[in-house]
């Protein structure tokens, strides 16, 4: 093989930043999450409008949660109350020894581990396109080269990023670009209807917010491009009863 003769390997399909994350993973079995960009097109009025809209959504969610009665935790007898009191008072030297901690959250290792954790957004100015695509490209790299642990890790980090992602109107395009990448690379739908994991993750996320995506011009443009995305999206929203 040419690699054994030259002592080097060339990944023509890989960006330098993606390669850096791959090398980091090779040493640490994890990789640093990329930072988001800043969209200077966002106005202050947009920021205030989006914050007000999301605050109203959170308030409505809180109202619904308050409507669900909590099951009180009751002690069925005096003996159980006494036992709970004794447990809370049973702080022994051994307990203090077990709880002893000599490091803080500011230690170098803790800071490094924090950099591995996916973060959410808190402003419509934060452009997550590069963040989404970094995880997706690393997933594709691992998928093509059968590096299953890295493939699962990249998919896991993308999932956590989407969970913490506030879907501002200005940021819908970030997810659209992720979907466009997922459906422009990787394996097509199998004959039995199975969707490849990256596409499935993106599809499920978009289906959960179909009413938000459906009002956006970028989403309409994505539908007009055709391809398997349209069929997968339609099947998903119908299956989940979202239309």
Model confidence at 159, in pLDDT bands (50, 70, 90)? very high
pLDDT, position 223? 92
pLDDT of residue 113: 79
Query: pLDDT at position 85, please?
Result: 64
Residues of the chain above pLDDT 70, percent: 80
Residue 60 confidence class, pLDDT cut points 50, 70, 90: low
116/135: higher pLDDT? 135
Which of 4-8, 57-61, 101-105, 234-238 has the largest mean confidence? 234-238
Give 68-106 pLDDT, tens digit per residue.
Answer: 666 555 555 666 666 666 666 666 777 777 777 776 777
pLDDT-derived band at 198 (thresholds 50, 70, 90) equals very high
Residues 6+ apart with CB under 8 A from 186: 140, 143, 196, 198, 199
Position 46 pLDDT exceeds 60: yes
pLDDT band at residue 156 under the 50/70/90 scheme: very high
Q: What's 40-107 look like in SS3?
A: CCCCHHHHHHHHHHHHHHHHHHHHHHHCCCCCCCCCCCHHHHHHHHHHHHCCCHHHHHHHCCCCCCCC
DSSP label at 171? G
**How many CB atoms within 10 Å of residue 172?**
18
CB-side neighbour CA atoms (13 Å) of 129: 14
- What is the pLDDT averaged over residues 171-193? 91
pLDDT confidence of residue 65: 63
* pLDDT reported for residue 70: 60
* Average pLDDT for the chain: 83
Q: What is the pLDDT of residue 130?
A: 95
Tell me which of 80-89, 101-110, 217-226, 227-236 is least confident: 80-89
27 has a pLDDT exceeding 90: yes
pLDDT score for 2: 60
What pLDDT score was predicted for residue 104? 76
What is the C-alpha to C-alpha distance for residues 134 and 136, in angstroms, rounded to an integer? 5
Is the pLDDT higher at 206 or at 6? 206
Beta-strand pair 126-127/37-38? antiparallel
């Amino acid at each position: 093989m040419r690699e054994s003769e030259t002592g080097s390997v060339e990944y023509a399909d890989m960006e330098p930043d993606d390669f850096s994350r791959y090398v980091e993973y090779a040493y640490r079995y994890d990789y640093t999450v990329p930072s988001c960009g800043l969209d200077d097109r966002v106005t202050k009025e947009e920021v205030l409008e989006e914050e007000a809209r999301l605050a109203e959504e959170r308030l409505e969610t809180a109202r619904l949660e308050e409507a669900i009665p909590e099951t009180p935790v009751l002690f069925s007898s005096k003996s159980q109350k006494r036992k709970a009191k004794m447990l809370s008072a049973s702080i022994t030297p051994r307990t203090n020894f077990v709880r002893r901690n000599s490091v803080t959250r500011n230690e170098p290792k803790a800071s490094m581990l924090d950099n591995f954790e996916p973060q959410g957004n808190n402003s419509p100015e934060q452009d997550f396109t590069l963040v989404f695509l970094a995880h997706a490209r690393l997933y594709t790299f691992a998928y093509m080269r059968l590096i299953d642990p890295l493939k699962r890790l990249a998919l896991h980090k993308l999932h956590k990023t989407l969970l913490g992602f506030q879907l501002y109107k200005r940021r819908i395009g970030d997810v659209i670009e992720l979907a466009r990448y997922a459906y422009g690379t990787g394996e097509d739908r199998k004959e039995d209807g199975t969707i490849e994991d990256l596409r499935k993750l993106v599809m499920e996320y978009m289906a959960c917010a179909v009413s938000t995506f459906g009002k956006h011009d970028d989403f309409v443009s994505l539908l007009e491009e055709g391809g398997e995305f349209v069929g997968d999206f339609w099947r998903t929203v119908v299956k989940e009863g979202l239309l």
